Amino acid sequence: MGLLTILKKNKLKEKEIRLLMLGLDNAGKTTILKKINGEDISTISPTLGFNIKTMELDGYKLNIWDVGGQKSIRSYWRNYFEQTDGLIWVIDSADRKDRFELCKKELLSLLKEERIAGASLLIFANKQDLPSALSKDQIQEFLELDTIESCHWNIQSCSAYTGENLVKGMKWITNDIRSRIFLLD
Amino acid sequence: MISQAEAGPRKVRVAKKLVVKDKSPVSSTKNLSSKFQNMSIEDNSDKITPEYVSKLKAPTSGFLCPLTKNKYIQFKGFKIRDVDSGEIFYNVSDPTDPEPFDTFMKGVDDSYRTLHYEFSKNYLKGKHIGTTVEFATCPEAIPNFRMIERHYFKDKLIKSFDFSFGFCIPNSRNTWENVYEVPKISSSLYKEMLQNPEQTCSDSFYFINDKLFMHNKAYFTFK
Ligand SMILES: Nc1nc2c(ncn2[C@@H]2O[C@H](COP(=O)(O)OP(=O)(O)O)[C@@H](O)[C@H]2O)c(=O)[nH]1
Ligand SMILES: [Mg+2]
C-alpha cells in the first residue's frame, strides 16, 4: 500500500488523470471521444493504433486514451495499463450474441489485470439510439457486473450519436477517481 | 509530408493497405530498446536529453539531430481548431500509407523539417485551442515515445508542452489532440505578434527512450 500511496500522491501533485477507453472494435469508442470534444463524428475510420485527447478539467489534466479494439491490436492493450486511473469499457448494445460473449470474456480478463484492478470502471452501453439495443439492465445482468468486487464500477446507457449520458458518465468516473485519490492522501 | 502537402504538388506514392501485423509486442519492444541502447555516439544528438531541451530559453540556432536519425515516425496530419467556436485554423492530412521507414529521409533537406504557418489572427484570441497531430509508426514497436515542444515569441518562451505517448503499436496510425487554455495575452503583445511575421516560432523535439531522433521547427505568421 505504501508505494501506491506515494504514486497517487505524486499524481495528485501533477494533477493528472489518465483514462483508458477499451472495448471491441466498432463499439463506438472513437465516436464517443470525438463527441465529448465537440468534433465532427460523420467520418470516423477504424483505429489502427491510439487516439489520445488531452484536456483540462477543473484544474486537472485529463488524458483519455482510445486504443483500437480489433483482434490484432487487442494483444497490445496491456502496454497501456500502467498508471491508468479509470477504465471506460464501451459496448455496442445492439451487437450480435457471439460478440457479446466475446465482449464479456475480454472485460473479465481485463479485470484480472493487476495494473488496472484498482481503477474505476465505467461501462458505456452505447448505441442506445438503435431499436435493437439491449437495455443497460440487460447488459448489467449479462456481464454479471454485480459480482465485481475489485473496483468501483458504474454502467451508463448512452448514444454517441445523440450525446445522451456521455457527460454524465464522464462526470461519474472523474469524480470517483478524484475522491479515491483524495481519500488516500 | 505536411510541409509539402501545404506547398502544393508532392511525390505521389501508391497507397498500400495498412496492416497491423500480429507481432509479439514484448519481443519487438525489446528489439528497438536494445537498438537504442547500442546506438553509437557518433553525433552530438546522443547527448541531447529531455532535461536539456526542457531548459532551453530561446530557439536553437540549428537542428540538434541529423534528419536521417528518424526511421520511426512519419507525420500524416495536422489540425488546429478553436474548440469553442469550431473555427479551423489549419487542417492537412495525408491518408496514404507511410513510405518505407529506412529510406524516406534520403535526399531530403532541412526544408522538410522547417514549417511555415499562416493563421487567422483569431488564433491569438481563442480561449481553448486544440492541436491534433496524426502519425504513422515503423514496423517495430516503439517503447517510449515522447515529445517536447517549446514556443517562443522574439526569443522569449511563451509556452511549452511535454507529452509522453509511451508505447506505439507496430505499423500503427495514431492521433493526439491537445486541448489547452490559451494564456491571455495583453493587447500590446497581440499587436506585436501580428506585426512581426515569423517571430513566433517553435522547436519540437521527439525522443525514443529519452534519445533525440527528430527535431522540427515551425514559424508562425498571423493575419
Ligand atoms: N447508431 C449508432 N452508431 C454509432 C454510435 N456510436 C458509434 N456508432 C457507429 O459505429 C461505428 C463504429 O464506431 P467507432 O467509433 O469507429 O468504434 P470503435 O471501433 O469502438 O472506435 C461507426 O460507424 C459509428 O458511426 C451510436 O451511438 N449509435
Ligand atoms: Mg476506434
pLDDT tens, residue by residue, B124-158? 988 999 999 999 999 999 999 999 999 999 989 99
Return the bridge partners of A1, or none: none
Residue among A49, A53, A76 minimizing CB distance to B25: A76
Using only C-alpha atoms, what is the Rg of chain B? 18
Q: Is the pLDDT of residue A12 over 90?
A: no
Which pLDDT does position A34 carry in this prediction?
Answer: 95
Atom of ligand 1 nearest to the CA of A70: 19
Which pLDDT does position B45 carry in this prediction?
Answer: 76
Is A38 part of any known ligand binding site?
A: no
ipTM: 0.89
Residue among B22, B169, B180 minimizing CB distance to A56: B180
Of the two residues B195 and A181, the one the predictor is more confident about is: B195
Q: Is the CB of A159 under 6 A from ligand 1?
A: yes
Of the two residues B6 and A123, the one the predictor is more confident about is: A123
Instruction: Kindly state whether A43 is in contact with chain B, defined as any CB-CB distance less than 8 angstroms.
Output: no
- Report residue A13's pLDDT band, with 50, 70 and 90 as the boundaries: low
Residue A156 lies inside a defined structural domain of this protein: yes
Which domains are seen in chain B, by residue range? 6-222 (2.70.50.40)
Number of domain units in chain A: 1
Distance CA(B166)–CA(B144), nearest Å, equals: 4
Q: Are strands B88-93 and B73-82 parallel, antiparallel or unpaired?
A: antiparallel
Residue A111 lies inside a defined structural domain of this protein: yes
CA neighbor of A52 nearest in space, from A14, A11, A18, A81? A18
Q: Is the pLDDT of residue A105 over 70?
A: yes
Residue A7 lies inside a defined structural domain of this protein: no
pLDDT tens track for A19-63: 999 999 999 999 999 999 889 999 899 999 999 999 987 778 999
Most B CBs within 10 A among A67, A76, A81, hence the mutation to make, goes to A76
Which pLDDT does position B24 carry in this prediction?
Answer: 40
Cell numbers given for B199: 517571430
Is A156 part of any known ligand binding site?
A: no
Residue A124 lies inside a defined structural domain of this protein: yes
Residue count (chain B) = 223
Which chain A residues are closer than 8 Å to B179 by Cβ? 37, 53-56
Domain carrying residue A148: 16-41+49-183
Which pLDDT does position B213 carry in this prediction?
Answer: 96
Is A26 part of any known ligand binding site?
A: yes
Helices of type H across chain B:
2-7, 25-38, 50-54, 122-125, 187-195
Measured CA to CA in angstroms, residue A14 lies from A18, A99, A117, A119, B166 at distances of 12, 39, 22, 18, 18
Residue A122 contacts by C-beta under 8 Å, 6 or more apart in sequence?
A86, A87, A88, A89, A153, A154, A155, A156, A169, A170, A172, A173
Atom of ligand 1 nearest to the CA of A46: 16
Cα nearest neighbour of B142 on chain A: A79
In three-state secondary structure terms, B115 is strand
Q: Is the CB of A25 under 6 A from ligand 1?
A: yes
pLDDT tens track for A136-158: 999 999 999 999 988 999 999 99
CATH at residue A155: 3.40.50.300
Per-residue three-class SS string for B135-188: EEECCCCEEEEEEEEEEEECCEEEEEEEEEEEEECCCCEEEEEEEEECCCCCHH
